[in-house]
């Protein structure tokens, strides 16, 4: 079971910023960018892996690199950092035009995570429940996909969401422009947890990870 380590407020450089944006002026913000995924698309197709699962793993890998994206409030309302967080993601049901929210434990090994995610999706593919696995653990962050349209802006308005410090990521439909494939990525962040610098670093690290693609090179699953 993951543990949340309390932050030492006496030595935390962010303590004043955290207090201001959590209490004095609580706010969230959203940053929407187009990420060049030309090389990623080619690599994931060659690997035989599932694109959405690969996208989810890449997002989780970046989130788990940085304390600001694993931030939470403990039972006393004080800031703490999870040792590890896991992606909770939406899966669409076309027959009912609804979706389920699933979660899979993050594994730094992409192949292991991919196989676990594929099994989880298959297990709950016929479920009409919103949370077929039950409520996700506290140490999750949200990922959703809107593959039917591209977008240049996306914002969630969450009532009474000021204590929600985990990032929320929404992916859009690919856009082809000038011979490149672009993926709309919307990152919603609580300002108490992260500033524009941290959001920009998240985007840049995601770009680099998707452009690399070496993590996709493990052998594809055997055909069944």
Confirm if 166 and 141 have CB atoms less than 8 A apart: yes
Q: Say how far apart CA 22 and CA 165 lie, in whole Å.
A: 9
In whole angstroms, how far apart are CA 174 and each of 11, 23, 44, 177?
A: 43, 38, 14, 10
Catalytic residue numbers read: 191
E-strand ranges in the chain read: 4-6, 28-36, 71-73, 79-82, 86-93, 98-103, 140-146, 168-172, 175-177, 180-190
Confirm if 206 and 174 have CB atoms less than 8 A apart: no
Which tokens in the block code for residue 159?
């009532």
């Amino acid at each position: 079971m993951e543990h949340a380590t309390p932050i030492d407020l006496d030595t935390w450089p962010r303590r004043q910023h955290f207090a201001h944006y959590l209490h004095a002026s609580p706010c969230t913000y959203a940053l929407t960018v187009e990420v060049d995924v030309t090389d990623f698309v080619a690599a994931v197709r060659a690997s035989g892996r599932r694109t959405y699962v690969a996208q989810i793993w890449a997002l989780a890998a970046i989130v788990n690199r940085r304390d600001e994206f694993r931030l939470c409030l403990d039972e006393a309302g004080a800031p703490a950092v999870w040792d590890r967080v896991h992606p909770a993601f939406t899966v669409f049901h076309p027959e009912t035009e609804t979706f389920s929210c699933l979660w899979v434990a993050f594994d730094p090994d992409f192949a292991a995570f991919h196989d676990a995610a594929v099994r989880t999706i298959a297990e709950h593919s016929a479920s009409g429940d919103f949370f077929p696995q039950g409520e996700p653990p506290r140490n999750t962050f949200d990922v959703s996909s809107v593959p039917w349209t591209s977008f240049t802006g996306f914002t969630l308005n969450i009532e009474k969401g000021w204590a929600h410090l985990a990032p929320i990521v929404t992916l859009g439909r690919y856009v082809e422009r000038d011979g490149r494939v672009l993926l709309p990525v919307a990152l919603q962040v609580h300002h108490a947890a992260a500033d524009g610098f941290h959001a920009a670093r998240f985007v840049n690290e995601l770009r680099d990870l998707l452009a690399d693609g070496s993590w996709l090179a493990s052998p594809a699953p055997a055909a069944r």
